[in-house]
Structure formats: C-alpha cells, structure tokens
Amino acid sequence: MDWRNVDTSNCSVGRTLDLIGDRWTLLLVRELLNDVRRFSDLRVHLDISAPVLSRRLKALGLAGLVVAVPYKEDGSRPRMEYELTETGRELQVVVLALMQFGDQHLADPKGPAVVLVDAASQQRVRLALVRPDGSVMPPDSLRWRKGAAFRELPH
C-alpha cells in the first residue's frame, strides 16, 4: 500500500488529536490517572488557569472521557471532582508512551522524575508492541494495511 495515495481525512489518529491533542488535555488526563481529581487540586498541580481547566474538563466530559462526581466537605457547599471513565482510562497507554519517549530522550540529566514499576515486583516496566502470542515485536516489523473504511485519494 502506497501511503501517499491513502485518503487520511478519515484517520483515527487525526480524530483523536482533535480531542486530546493539546498540552493541557493530556496533562489533565495524567493527573486524573494519578487520582488528582478536585478542581482546585488540578488547578494548583498543573498551574493552569480556571477558565482553561474548565474548558478542558467540559470537552472531556462531552466526549465521554470524564465524569463529574459531586462531593461535599463539612461546612462547604457541594462541589465536583472528576473521574476518568473506562474509555478515558484507555488513554493511559498514550500518556505512558509519551512518558517513555520523554524518559529516553528528554529526561533531566539526573534521570526521569518518576519511573513506572510493576506494583508487585517493583521492577521498572516499559511499553512494547506485543503479538497475539505475547512475544514482543520490534516497531520496524509493523505494516499498515487497508481497513474497513479505507479510501484512496482521487487521481
């Protein structure tokens, strides 16, 4: 398949980037994956303005990636905290792939600030491409092929 002839207007990568392709959205997903869920905590931890945070949370909610859950502390008015939906939690692999790339190519000279470990063994883990039989495969062994919605560019 010659990629130059593929109509990419129906591309899943492009549609996903339309939804999560800005810096704040992926950092917000990172925070939610790490159980930072209250608006005020998200604002402080991300050093983000309230209007930007509100817009990102609303967009993620409309997309079905985040839900607002009410909570109330004694003596305070009811407020919302935010949780990733099951679909939103699937973005973990995207965030971790970015982290792994950053750890390998952009980390502080002392090394990364945090590392990903297996909870049971405490050994570092990495993301990898895995065949159906469980064997790890090198990225250069991948091939693109036509999917159900494939369209070729008009000549």
Dihedral sign for Cα 127, 119, 16, 101, please. Answer: negative
Domain boundaries, the chain: 3-141
pLDDT digits (tens, 9 = 90+) for 4-18: 888 878 888 999 999
Q: Per-residue confidence at 144, pLDDT binned at 50, 70, 90?
A: confident
Q: Percentage of the chain surpassing pLDDT 70? A: 100
pTM of the model: 0.85
Please give the CATH architecture assigned to the domain spanning 3-141. Answer: Orthogonal Bundle (1.10)
The torsion angles phi and psi of 84, rounded to 5 degrees, stand at -70, 140
Query: Which of 109, 125, 105 has the alpha carbon at shortest distance from 117?
Result: 125
* DSSP-derived 3-state class of residue 129: strand
